[in-house]
Amino acid sequence: MTSPAEPTAPLDALMACVQTLGLPQIQRHVFLCADQTKPKCCSKEAGLEAWEYLKKRLKELQLDQPIETRPTCIFRTKANCLRVCAQGPILVVYPDGVWYRNASPPVIERIIQEHLLGDRVVQEYAFLVHPLPTTAMASAPM
Ligand code: FES
């Protein structure tokens, strides 16, 4: 019988990471298809350019960390493939569930300004709006 794998880092190191990243303050999570193993929705270069732009702008606008005047942050994750595989780079914003196509740097700038900062969907590039349904677990105390 095998035992579960031992944690590789102490729990307090993990909790320090949670705080450093601002995980409890995440307001929105952006997933971008980039650096794909099999680039299908766009070229590998276009995906990487979009990813670098997204990272740079979130940092420049201080949206990647909670700050004194705004206790929330935007988290971003590079996805290997979001399974749409057409008209990329594909980008999705949760919890709003807004899926965007052709997320090149100029389009990402609009998504940042209009959606992330202005709470308005960039209709021109959104091809699906499907907020995830709330589950019983989401409202249950931990
Ligand atoms: S390769 Fe980008 S969504 Fe599949």
The verdict on residue 89 lying in a domain is yes
Question: Measured in angstroms, how far is the CA atom of residue 70 from the centroid of ligand 1?
Answer: 33
| 1 inside domain | no
Q: Kindly state whether residue 121 falls inside one of the protein's structural domains.
A: yes
Beta bridge partners of 14: none
Q: Looking at the domain assignment, is residue 118 inside a domain?
A: yes
Give the per-residue pLDDT at 5: 60
Domain count, the chain: 1
Q: Is residue 38 part of a domain?
A: no
pLDDT of res. 9: 64
Q: What is the pLDDT of residue 139?
A: 74
CA–CA separation, 133 and 57 (whole Å): 29
pLDDT reported for residue 2: 53
Residue 84: inside a domain, yes or no? yes
Check pocket membership of 126 for ligand 1, CB cut-off 6 A: no
- CATH number of the domain encompassing residue 70: 3.40.30.10
Global pTM? 0.90
List, for the chain, all residue ranges whose pLDDT scores fall below the cut of 50: none
The verdict on residue 141 lying in a domain is: no
Mean residue pLDDT of the chain comes to 93
CB 111 within 8 A of CB 100: yes
Domain extent, residue 79, equals 43-132
| CA 102 to ligand 1 centroid distance, Å | 11
Atom of ligand 1 nearest to the CA of 36: 1
